[in-house]
Amino acid sequence: MSRPPNESYLSAKIGIRSWLLTTDHKRIALLYFAAITGFFAIGGFAATLIRYELITPGPTLGSPDFYNRLFTMHGVIMVWFFLIPSIPATMGNFIIPLMIGARDLAFPRLNLLSWYLFVIGGLITLTALLLGGLDTGWTFYEPYSTFYATGYVILAITGIVVAGFSSILTGLNFIVTIHKLRAPGMTWYRLPVFVWSTYATSLILVLATPVLAMTLLMLIAERVLGVGIFSPQLGGDPILFQHMFWFYSHPAVYIMILPSMGVISEIVPVFARKQLFGYTFVVWCSIAIAAIGFLVWGHHMFVAGQALYASLAFSFLSYLVAVPSAIKVFNWTATLHEGWIRFDAPMLYAFGFIGLFTMGGLTGLFLAALPIDVHVTDTYFVVAHFHYIMVGGAVMGYFAGLHYWWPKITGRRYPEYWARFAAILAFFGFNLTFFPQFILGYLGMPRRYQSYPPEFQVWHVLSSAGASILAVGYALPLFYFLWSILKGERAPANPWQATGLEWTSRSPPPPNNFDVTPTVVRPPYQYQRGDPCPQVDSD
Amino acid sequence: MNGTPIWPIEASRYAGRVDFLFGSLLLISVLTMGLVVFLLALFATKYRHSSKAIRDGSTIKTWRFEVAWTAVTLLVFVGLAVWGADLYLRLYNPPSDALQIFVVGKQWMWKAQHPGGQAEINELHVPAGQDIRLVLASQDVIHSFYVPALRIKQDVVPGRYETMWFRADRPGRYHLFCAEYCGTDHAHMGGWVTVMNPREYADWLRQQGGQQTLAMQGQTLFRRYGCSGCHNPGGTVRAPQLEGVFGSPVPLSDGSVVIADDRYVRDSILNPKGQVAAGYAPVMPTFAGQVSEDDLAKLVAYIESIGPTKAGGGR
User: Rounded distance, CA B102 to CA B118, Å?
Assistant: 11
User: Average pLDDT in the B121-145 region?
Assistant: 94
- Look at residue B2 and tell me whether its pLDDT is greater than 60: no
> Which residues are within 8 A (CB) of A149 and not within 5 positions of it... i.e. 6 or more apart?
A134, A135, A136, B183
Packing angle, helices A93-100 and A153-180, rounded to 10: 10
Please report whether residue A410 resides in a domain.
yes
Are B9 and A443 a contacting pair, CB within 8 Å? no
Answer yes or no: are the C-beta atoms of A302 and A330 closer than 8 Å. Answer: no
CB contact under 8 A, B66 and A239: no
User: Is residue A247 exposed (0-12), middle (13-18) or buried (19+ Cβ within 10 Å)?
Assistant: buried
User: What ranges make up the beta strands (E) of chain B?
Assistant: 99-106, 109-113, 119-121, 123-127, 132-138, 143-147, 152-156, 162-166, 172-178, 191-196, 249-251, 257-259
CA distances from B246 to A2, B241, B262, B264 (A): 90, 11, 8, 9
Q: Is residue A539 part of a domain?
A: no
| Closest-approach residue (CA) in chain A for B71 | A323
Q: Which pLDDT does position B1 carry in this prediction?
A: 43
Q: Would A10 be classed as within a structural domain?
A: no
Segment B37-90, tens digit of pLDDT: 999 999 999 999 888 888 877 656 677 888 888 899 899 999 999 999 998 988
In this complex, the residue of B4, B44, B80 whose CB is nearest that of residue A455 is B4
Q: Which long-range contacts (CB under 8 A, 24 or more apart) does B93-96 make?
A: B94/B131, B94/B133, B94/B163, B94/B165, B94/B315, B95/B131, B95/B165, B96/B312, B96/B313, B96/B314, B96/B315
B173 contacts: CB under 8 Å, gap ≥ 6: B192, B193, B194, B195
B263: distance to nearest CA of chain A, Å?
A: 13
Q: Are A50 and A74 in contact (CB under 8 A)?
A: yes
List, in order, residues 6 or more apart from A527 with CB less than 8 Å away: A269, A273, A274, A275, A499, A533
- Chain B residues with beta carbon closer than 8 angstroms to that of A147: 140-141
Q: Using a CB–CB cutoff of 8 Å, tell me whether A355 touches chain B.
A: yes
Band of pLDDT at residue B313, cut at 50, 70 and 90: very low
Q: Do A337 and B48 touch (CB under 8 A)?
A: no
* Nearest-CB residue to B187 (from A64, A144, A358): A64
Q: How far is B210 from B216, CA to CA, in rounded Å?
A: 13
Task: Say yes or no for a CB contact (<8 Å) between B153 and A374.
Answer: yes
Give me the CATH topology for the region B214-305: Cytochrome Bc1 Complex; Chain D, domain 2 (1.10.760)
C-alpha angle A61/A63/A65, rounded to 5°? Answer: 125
Candidates B10, B83, B134, B141, partner chain A, best to mutate (most A CBs within 10 A)? B141
Q: Is the CB of A305 less than 8 angstroms away from the CB of B160?
A: yes
Q: Which residues of chain A, if any, have pLDDT below 70?
A: 1-5, 539
Q: What ipTM was predicted for this assembly?
A: 0.91
Report the distance separating Cα A93 and Cα B302, nearest Å: 66
Q: Is A292 on the interface with B (CB under 8 A)?
A: no
Pairing of strands B191-196, B123-127: parallel
Q: How far, in Å, CA of B68 to CA of B76, rounded? A: 12
Of the partner residues B37, B152, B181, the one whose CB lies closest to the CB of residue A374: B152
> Which backbone phi and psi does B297 adopt, to 5 degrees?
-60, -40
Closest Cβ opposite residue A372 in set B21, B74, B78: B21
Whether residue A43 is contained in a domain is answered as yes
How far apart (Å, rounded) are the C-alpha atoms in residues B223 and A49? 55
**Chain B: residue whose CA lies nearest to A460:** B4
Whether A537 maps to a domain, the answer reads: no
SS3 helix, strand, coil % of chain A, rounded to 5? 70, 0, 30
Looking at chain B, the whole-number percentage of residues with pLDDT higher than 70 is: 94
CA distance A191 to A262: 11
The H helix count followed by the E strand count for chain A is 17, 2
Any domain includes A156: yes
Query: Per the domain annotation, does A157 fall within a domain?
Result: yes
Q: Is A66 on the interface with B (CB under 8 A)?
A: no
Quick check: B48 and A341 CB within 8 A?
yes
**CATH code, domain carrying A369:** 1.20.210.10
Q: Which of B73, B90, B122, B165 is the best substitution to test chain A (most A C-beta atoms within 10 A)?
A: B73
- The DSSP element (H or E) to which A528 belongs, if any, is strand A527-528
Q: Does the B1-38+92-211 domain belong in CATH 2.60.40.420?
A: yes
**Nearest-CA distance A358 → chain B (Å):** 7
- Containing domain of residue A233, as a range? 17-532
Q: Which of B49, B63, B88 shows the shortest C-beta gap to A370?
A: B88
Q: Are B96 and B314 in contact (CB under 8 A)?
A: yes
Is residue B6 helix, strand or coil? coil
What pLDDT is attached to residue B291? 85
- What share of chain B has pLDDT > 90, as a percent? 45
The pLDDT, as a whole number, for residue B115 is 87
Nearest Cα neighbor of B171 from B149, B152, B145, B144 is B149
CB contact B57 to A (< 8 Å): yes
A361 contacts in chain B (CB < 8 Å): none
Give the distance from CA A408 to its chain's centroid: 21
**Predicted structure pTM score:** 0.91
Pick from A344, A489, A492, A491: which is nearest to A418 by CA? Answer: A344
Q: Establish, for the pair of chains A and B, how many residue pairs have beta carbons separated by less than 8 Å.
A: 248
Q: Out of A371-375, B99-103, B153-157, B209-213, which region has the weakest mean confidence (pLDDT)?
A: B209-213
Q: How far is B14 from chain A (nearest CA, A)?
A: 10
Contact: A374, B2; criterion CB under 8 Å: no
Judged by a CB distance cut-off of 8 A, whether residue A4 touches chain B is no
Per residue in B80-116, pLDDT (tens digit) is 999 999 989 887 787 888 899 999 999 999 999 998 8
The answer to whether position A9 is within a domain reads no
* Domain total of chain A: 1
Q: Which value, to the nearest 10 degrees, does the dihedral of the CA atoms of residues A183, A188, A194, A196 take?
A: 130
Residue ranges per structural domain of chain B: 1-38+92-211, 214-305
